[in-house]
Amino acid sequence: MIQQDYALETKALNLYYGSAQALIDVDIKIPKNQVTALIGPSGCGKSTLLRCFNRMNDLIPNCTLSGSILYHGEEITGRSTDVVELRKRIGMVFQQPNPFPKSIYENVIYGPKVHGVKDRKQLDEIAERSLKGAAILDEVKDRIHDAARGLSGGQQQRLCIARTLSVGPDIILMDEPCSALDPIATAKIENLITELKEEYTVVIVTHNMQQAARVSDYTGFMYMGRLIEFDSTSVIFERPKEELTENYITGRFG
Amino acid sequence: MKDHYHKELDAYQISVGEYSLFALTMLRDAFDAFSSLDRELACEIAGGMENVCIQTGEPAMHQEIHVPRKVFLSMRSDQLEEQGLRLIALHQPVASDLRTIACCMNLITSAERIGRYGKDICHCTYKLPEGIHIRGMARLPEMAEGALSMLEDALHAFQTRDLSILEGFSRRDDVIDELRYLIYEDCITIMEEDPRTIPYCATYLLVDRYLERCADHACKTAEKIHYMITGERVDIR
C-alpha cells in the first residue's frame, strides 16, 4: 500500500466483554480523507471496532481492551485522553436517526452551545455550514425552527450528520446509517458520504455490501472478531485474496 | 444446498459453454465444407445460396433445415448476453461470481465472432468453382487444425477450470502467425506462376486471415479465463 497518512490505527487490539473476546489482534489502518467500510456477518465485531475509535465502549460495564488505538498517531486508549474532546473530533452517526426533541436549528447548534459558543451570529453560521455540509440546508431552510421530529427519516439522518459536523470533527463514524431508510434517502446519504471525504475521514459499518462497494475506497472484512482482509474496495469486491472473504461476499457462507 | 442465484449462475456457465461449442463446431464444419467444397453443408451453415443448393439437392430436406446456423448464432448471442445482464442486475455479483459473468460475456462475444468467421468461410466456398482444390490448399488444413484445437482447449479450460490446459498458448499462437505469413507468401508465388490459380489463392488468403483471427480469439479467451479463475491478469500472445 502507498505510504500515506492514517487518521486511525489499531495495533494488536483485543477487546473483551467480560470473558467473551469480541476483537482478536486487530491491526487496521484507516487512511485519511478516504471512506473505509467494515463489513462482516452479525457479531463479527465490526460495530465494536467502530465504537473503539471514539471510546463508546467505555460506557459498557466489564468491557476491557488491550493493544493500542492511535488517532493521528496519538494513543487514545489511556486514562489521560480527554474523551469529550475526542468525541468532538470523532463524531458518530447511528442506524436509527436520533434527533433531539427540539427544533432543527436547536439540534444543530446543541453541540457548539454545550462547548461554550454563545454568539448568536456564530451559531447561525455553524448551523448553516453544518446543514449545508450534510446536504439538507435547501430542504429545511424555510422551516429551520420547526420540530426536527417532523422531518422524514432520511432528512432526520442527514440532520444527525449535520449535528455531528457542527462541532468540527475530522472523522465521522457511521454505524449502519442507511439501514432504516428507503432507497432514495439511502442514495442521498451515499452521495453525501462521497462528498464528506473531501474534508473528513469516514468509517462506515454496513450490512449492505453493495453500499460498501459503492461508497468506500477501502474495505475491511471481519469475521469472529478478526480482521480477515483489508484492501482497496475494488480488490475486495473483484478479486479478494482470502477464501473467507470470497465466500462471504458472494453469499456462499456457511 | 446451493441458493437459486448460484444454481442460475452454474446453469448460465453451462449454456455459455454449449454456445461456444456450437460456434466452434460451426467453424469446424465450415472449414470441412470449404475443404470438400461442399456447398450444401456451407449453405446449411451460412445460408444465402439456397437457390443453388436446393437445385442440386433434394428440396424436401432443405426445407426442413431452412434456418441456417448463422441465424441461431446471432439470436442465441443476444439471449445469453441478456441472461448475463439479468444476473448482474438482479444479484449484483461480486468477486469470482462477477469475474465469471464477465468472462462469460467475453466468451459469448468471441464465440459469436468465431461462428461468423465460419459463415465467412462458407461464403468463400460459394466463390470457388465446384471440383477440387489446388496445391493441397496451401497449408490451410494444418492452420485450421491449430486454431480449432486452441479454441477447443480454451473451452475445455473454461469448463474444467484447469489452467494447465492454457499453458503453451502463446507458442501455439506464434505457430499460427508463422503459418499465416507462410501461406501468404506461398499464395503470392503460386498466383504469380499461374494466374488461373487466382480465384483459389484469393480465397485462401481470406481464410488464412479468418483462421488467424480465430486463434487470436482463443488467446484472448484464455486471458479472460485466467482472470476469471485467479483474479490475476496475464498477457497471452
Q: Which residue in chain A is spatially nearest to B89 when comparing CA positions?
A: A210
CB pairs under 8 A between A and B: 31
Nearest residue of B to residue A240, measured between CA atoms: B95
pLDDT at B1: 60
| B6-12 long-range contacts, CB within 8 A, separation 24+ | B6/A251, B6/A252, B6/B97, B8/B87, B9/B87, B9/B93, B9/B97, B9/B100, B9/B101, B12/B80, B12/B83, B12/B84, B12/B87, B12/B101, B12/B104
**What pLDDT does residue B50 have?**
59
B36-58: b (≥16 Cβ within 10 Å) or e: ebbbbbbbbbbbbbeeebbeeee
The C-alpha cell of B20 is what? 461456444
A interface toward B at CB cutoff 8 Å? 209-210, 213, 237-240, 245-246, 249-252
Q: Do A238 and B99 touch (CB under 8 A)?
A: yes
Q: Per residue of chain B (237 residues), what is the pLDDT tens digit?
A: 678 999 999 999 999 999 999 999 999 999 999 999 998 899 999 987 655 554 554 545 445 546 889 999 999 999 999 999 999 999 999 999 999 999 999 999 999 999 999 999 999 999 888 778 888 888 999 999 999 999 999 999 999 999 999 999 999 999 999 999 999 999 999 999 999 999 999 999 999 999 999 999 999 999 999 999 999 999 987
Q: What whole-number percentage of chain A has pLDDT above 90?
A: 90
CA B63 to chain centre: 26
Grid cell, residue A118, equals 454563545
* Separation between Cα atoms, residue A148 and residue A152, nearest integer Å: 9
Residues of B with CB under 8 A from a CB of A: 3, 5-6, 92-99, 231-232
pLDDT over threshold 70, residue A83: yes
Q: Which residues of A touch B97 (CB under 8 A)?
A: 250
Q: Report pLDDT for A54.
A: 92
Identify all chain A residues contacting B99, using CB atoms and an 8 Å cutoff. 238-239
Which of B9, B87, B90, B94 is the best residue to mutate to test the A interface, defined by the most A CB atoms within 10 Å of its own CB?
B94
pLDDT per residue over B161-190, tens digit each? 999 999 999 999 999 999 999 999 999 999
pLDDT (0 to 100) of residue B51: 57
Per-residue confidence (pLDDT) for residue A253, from 0 to 100: 79
Predicted confidence band of residue A59 (pLDDT cuts 50, 70, 90)? confident
SS3 A195: helix
Whether residue A238 and residue B98 make contact (CB cut-off 8 A), yes or no, is: yes
On average, the pLDDT of chain A sits at: 93
Contacts of B168 (CB under 8 A, 6+ apart): none
B228 CA to chain A: closest CA distance, Å? 9
What ipTM goes with this model? Answer: 0.78
pLDDT digits (tens, 9 = 90+) for A93-132: 999 999 999 999 999 999 999 999 999 999 999 999 999 9
Q: What is the pLDDT of residues A190-222, one digit of tens each?
A: 999 999 999 999 999 999 999 999 999 999 999
Is A1's pLDDT higher than 50? no
A2 has pLDDT over 80: no
Nearest CB among A209, A213, A246 relative to B96 is that of A246
CB contact under 8 A, A239 and B93: no
Q: Are A88 and A168 in contact (CB under 8 A)?
A: yes
CA distance B231 to chain A (A): 5
